[in-house]
Structure formats: structure tokens, C-alpha cells
Amino acid sequence: MAAASDSLAQSVDLREPSGWRRSKNQIMTVLMWLAFVIVLIPLGFVLVTLVAKGADAISWQFLTNSTIPPNVLPLGVGGMGAAVVGTLEITGFATLLAVPLGVLGAVYLNEYGGNGILARLISFMSSVMTGVPSIVMGLFIYIIWVAHFGYSGMAGSFALACLMLPIVIRSSYEMLRLVPDSLRQGSYALGATKARVTLTVVLPAALSGIVSGALLAVARAAGETAPLIFTVLTVEQTNPNLFSGPDTSLPLQIFSNAQSAYTGANARAWGAALTLVAITFILMIVARIITALFTRNTR
């Protein structure tokens, strides 16, 4: 017996991994950390530049003055108020279109479609659609709407809504899948119809997850430029009417001012960029807080 366990101990190498294997492991661990640091560099760089240059530009006047001055003028004149209003209007209307439709689509996928071929196709194509370039959405809305009815903030909202729709469907679908079936069955047992169960039991149970997913979609849409270039156009005055006439938005102003050679225009671009990033960060943080509350509740 003793001899047998001796030979077993000899055949299994219980020593620490040998030099090279250990160094290789350490090198790889260092490389993984390095990958993370490499990403931090541009992120830190862009955020520091953004805050440093943007803070100089931002003032109450900058955020509210409704006339965007010509590129040659220095920073003190006019402001980006028109673009702030445009961004809020266009993104807000896009949210009104895309979130209800996206949640309904997710309800179809999870509550009605089941494992049917149509539901699987829609589910698959909506994840494919999240990869469609935003510029193509802009072209599409240009062809079917702008070419017939002219430029407007609403056309931009349509393009952004096309972009948000699959994102909202995917994130809501994931959330609906987490709702326990016992909740549904309990409600059916009480004699509720399917629509009622969905509206009063399933959706409220998944609400916080759906809201945080929707906010992330809104944050993404708020920063999009490409779908707006030839749906909204760019004007220098506040356009209070979302439904007709060209409008403007922060991303569009950043895009046009970034290409200018004048320092005044560049400074305005940084100010607009800081405003835009602040808006998207706030949306993202709100989404995170909602998610955090949600996970604590379910635990």
C-alpha cells in the first residue's frame, strides 16, 4: 500500500509550475492589464481635453442664446441654445416613437411569438438591424420622407427612431425573459386576459430594466450625427416647430464647427461637445442607478 501511494505521489507533479510556465502566465496577466490601460489613455485624453476646452466655452449665454453666430466670430457672441433645443426636441420625439414600438415588439417576441419561426426571424433580424450604419437610416428617411415633405426636426426623429427601435426591442426582450412564469400563471388563474396580464403584471415587473435599456438607447441616439445631416439640415436659429422647416442639433453643430478653420468655431464645437457628452452621461448614470435599484430589489 505504502509503495502504491508513493508511486502515485511521484507520478503527479505537485510542485509549483516551473519557471517558464509561471513567467508566461505572469506575462499574459500583465498584457491583459495593459490592454485595459491602453483603453484608458484615449478615454482619459479625450475627457480631459473635452472638459478643459469645453468649460471655457460654456456659460449660461452659450447654453441659451438662440443665435449661432458665423464661424469667424469669437466665442463671446451668440450661443448654442438653438442646438440644445433641437437636440432635446428631436431626441425626445424619437424616444416617443421608438420606445413604445420597441417595447411592443419585445412583448410580441416574448409573450406571443414563442418559439415560432416568425418570432425567431424578427428576433434575429432585430439584432442584425442594430448593426445597420446610422448613415443608411439617414438616407432611407431622406428618400421616403424628406424628398417628399422637406427637411424637419421630425424627419431627424424618424431616422433616430429607426436606429433606436432594434436596440429597445433587444434590451426589453432580455428583460421580459427574466420575468418569472409563475407571475403570468398566477394572473391567468385569476381569469385575466393575456393583454391584461402583459400590461398589468409582466411589463411592470420588468419596468426598471426596460427603462434603463431605453435610456441607453436614447443616450446613443442623442449623440448621433449621421442620420441627421440630410434629414434635419443645419440652421443657425432656434426652430420651435419640430414638424416643419430645417432644424439643428448639438452633434450637427459640432460636426460643422469642427471642420472650420476659425478658433471661435472650434471653441464653440468643444462647448457643444461638452454639453452633448454631459447630456449622454446623465442619461447613462440614470440608467445605471435604475439598474442598480432593480437588481437590489430582485435580490
Partner 1 sequence: MSAATKADPATPAGSANALNRRRPLGDRGFQILALAAGLLVLVILVLITVTTAQQSTTWFSGGFKDIFQVAFDGNTHFGAMGVLFGTVISSVIGIIIGVPVSVGIALLLTQVVPARWARPFVYVIDLLAVVPSVVWGLWGIIVLVPWLQKIYLDIASGVKGIPVLDSLFGGPNVTGASFFTAGLILAIMITPIITSLSREVIATVPDIDKEGAYALGATRWEMIRGAVWPHSQGGVVGAILVGFGRAMGETIAVALVIGDSVEVTSHLFYSGHSIAAIIALQFGEANGGEFRSALIGLGLVLFVLTILVNLVARWFVERSSRRARGE
Binders in 133-162 for partner 1, by CB under 8 A: 133-137, 139-140, 142-144, 162
CA distances from 121 to 20, 77, 124, 127, 284 (A): 50, 54, 5, 10, 30
Minimum Å distance from CB 218 to partner 1?
11
**Pure H helices in the chain:** 2-11, 19-57, 60-64, 81-107, 117-129, 134-141, 147-149, 153-177, 181-189, 194-197, 203-222, 250-258, 263-298
Grid cell of 285 as nine digits:
448614470
Number of residues near partner 1 (by CB under 8 A): 98
> What is Dmax (Cα atoms) for the chain?
94
Nearer to partner 1, 118 or 240 (CB): 118
Stretch that binds partner 1, among 30-38, 69-77, 148-156, 206-214 (CB under 8 A): 30-38
Grid cell of 67 as nine digits:
443665435
Of residues 248-267, those binding partner 1 (CB under 8 A): 251, 254-255, 258-259, 266
Nearer to partner 1, 109 or 242 (CB): 109
Determine how many CB atoms are found less than 10 A away from the CB of residue 142: 17
Q: Are 237 and 82 in contact, with CB atoms under 8 Å apart?
A: yes
Kindly report each contact of residues 184-189 with a partner whose C-beta sits within 8 Å and lies 24 or more positions away, as own/partner. none
Nearer to partner 1, 113 or 240 (CB): 113
Minimum Å distance from CB 269 to partner 1?
6
What is the SS3 assignment for 237?
Answer: strand
Minimum Å distance from CB 289 to partner 1?
12
104 touches partner 1 (CB under 8 A): yes
Grid cell of 106 as nine digits:
419585445
Of residues 275-294, those binding partner 1 (CB under 8 A): 276-277, 280-281, 284, 288
Minimum Å distance from CB 1 to partner 1?
24
* Residue among 78, 166, 264, 271 that touches partner 1 (CB under 8 A): 166
Minimum Å distance from CB 49 to partner 1?
6
Contacts of 193 by beta carbon, 8 Å cutoff, 6+ apart: none
Q: What is the DSSP letter of 152?
A: B
Minimum Å distance from CB 241 to partner 1?
22
40-79 footprint of partner 1 as x/- string (CB under 8 A): x-xx-xxx-xx-----------------------------
At 278, phi and psi to the nearest 5? -60, -45
Minimum Å distance from CB 198 to partner 1?
7
Nearer to partner 1, 85 or 184 (CB): 184
